[in-house]
């Protein structure tokens, strides 16, 4: 099984866009105004939508770039009837809710980086607009590297020690190390050391992504989409609180307090992995 690796590669792609955005956006803002940055971003989104429409396929065998030799080796999936989602069992399955809560903690921390890291560098650490934009890419470069590595590690550990231990080790270790790195980055005096520690924290945070998404698929492959939606809602709830709460705490008690709360949320999310059991199957399906 390579669920973790596949998910890690896919979500690691976020790091590419997020890494190039701050320096490019800062340069555009300085030279052409902030409105231009918004126009270019919207145009890029529309362009990607067109690419997706033209190239995305429901099955590998129907992809327009598939060669005849590849088509011969790609086995057509066996179509199974779609069973209704067992919502009563979902409600009684504690692992679903622990995953949602833990991923909510991850979402809180992730949105600190997405919403405030650049301004933290400029307003708190004293970087210029352009240099702040350049260094704001560092956490997302760490994410680009850590996502696929974490996915690969959780797959290897799951194969060797079992699904639950393989996912849990990565989840707990990654979130714990993220908490430690963020806490150190919040307290050090050197702005460059702070960038290094906080970027490492982002990397460890996203090191766990493969474990989260693989676990939700392990629960019920046939209903992975619906369960993933529930888990991701937890991240969005955390992300809804974080952008507002973070600057308020910083204004009241300083940035070390804001980042300290982010570190605590990462640690809390890691501890929740003690209650997560991906082998607590919702259904008896064995689809991969």
**Which of 23, 26, 15, 212 has its CA nearest to residue 105?**
212
CATH number for position 186:
1.20.1250.20
pLDDT > 70? residue 156 = yes
Q: What is the rounded CA–CA span in Å between residue 164 and residue 153?
A: 13
Read off the DSSP letter of residue 137. Answer: T
Q: pLDDT digit string (tens) for 88-134?
A: 888 888 899 999 999 999 999 999 999 999 999 999 999 988 898 88
Q: If you search the block for the tokens 């400029």, which residue do you land on? A: 122
Assign residue 277 a region (left: φ > 0; alpha: ψ between -120 and 50; beta: otherwise).
beta
The encoded tokens of residue 51 equal 């690419």
User: Greater confidence, 57 or 207?
Assistant: 207
Q: What is the pLDDT of residue 133?
A: 85
Residue 47, domain member (yes or no): no
Asked whether residue 251 is assigned to any structural domain, the reply reads yes
CA distances from 19 to 64, 132, 138, 139, 144 (A): 30, 12, 7, 8, 9
Distance CA 142, CA 113 (A): 12
Assess if residue 38 is contained within a domain.
no
Domain count within the chain? 1
Instruction: Provide the pLDDT for residue 286.
Output: 43
State pLDDT tens for residues 216-260: 888 887 787 888 889 999 999 999 999 999 999 999 999 999 999
Confidence at residue 91, expressed as pLDDT on a 0 to 100 scale: 84
Domain that holds residue 222: 3-32+90-275
Q: Which two tokens stand for residue 9?
A: 């590669």
pLDDT value of residue 288: 41
Residue 14 lies in a domain: yes
Is 283 part of any domain? no
Place of tokens 């980042």: 259
Question: Is 51 within the bounds of a domain?
Answer: no
**How deeply is 35 buried, as exposed, middle or buried, from its count of CB atoms within 10 A (0-12, 13-18, 19+)?**
exposed
153 occurs within a structural domain: yes
pLDDT digit string, tens, across residues 23-77: 788 888 888 887 888 888 888 889 989 988 888 777 766 767 766 655 555 555 5
- Please list the alpha-helical segments (H only) found in the chain: 3-32, 34-55, 68-73, 87-92, 94-119, 129-135, 138-161, 163-187, 191-207, 209-219, 224-253, 255-271
Answer yes or no: is 257 within a domain: yes
Is the pLDDT assigned to residue 142 strictly greater than 70? yes
Q: What span, in angstroms and rounded, lies between the C-alpha atoms of 34 and 133?
A: 14
């Amino acid at each position: 099984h390579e669920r973790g690796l596949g998910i890690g590669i896919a979500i690691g792609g976020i790091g590419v866009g997020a890494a190039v955005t701050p320096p490019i956006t800062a340069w555009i803002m300085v030279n052409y105004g902030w409105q231009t940055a918004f126009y270019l971003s919207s145009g890029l989104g529309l362009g990607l939508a067109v690419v997706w429409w033209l190239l995305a396929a429901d099955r590998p065998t129907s992809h327009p770039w598939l060669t005849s030799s590849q088509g011969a080796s790609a086995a057509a999936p066996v179509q199974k009837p779609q069973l209704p989602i067992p919502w009563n069992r979902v409600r009684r399955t504690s692992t679903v809710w622990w995953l949602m809560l833990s991923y909510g903690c991850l979402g809180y921390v992730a949105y600190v980086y997405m919403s405030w890291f650049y301004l933290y560098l400029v307003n708190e650490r004293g970087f210029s607009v352009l240099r702040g934009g350049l260094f704001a890419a560092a956490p997302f470069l760490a994410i680009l590297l850590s996502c696929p590595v974490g996915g690969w590690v959780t797959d290897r550990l799951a194969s060797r020690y079992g699904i639950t231990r393989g996912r849990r080790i990565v989840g707990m270790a990654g979130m714990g190390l993220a908490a430690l790195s963020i806490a150190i980055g919040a307290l050090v005096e050197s702005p460059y050391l702070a960038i290094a520690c906080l970027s490492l924290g982002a990397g460890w945070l996203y090191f766990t992504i493969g474990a989260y998404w693989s676990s939700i698929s392990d629960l019920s492959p046939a209903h992975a989409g619906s369960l993933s939606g529930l888990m991701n809602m937890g991240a969005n709830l955390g992300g809804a609180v974080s952008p507002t709460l973070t600057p308020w705490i910083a204004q009241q008690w300083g940035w070390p307090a804001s980042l300290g709360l982010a570190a605590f949320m990462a640690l809390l999310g890691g501890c929740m992995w003690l209650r997560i059991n991906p082998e607590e199957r919702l259904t008896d399906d064995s689809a991969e």
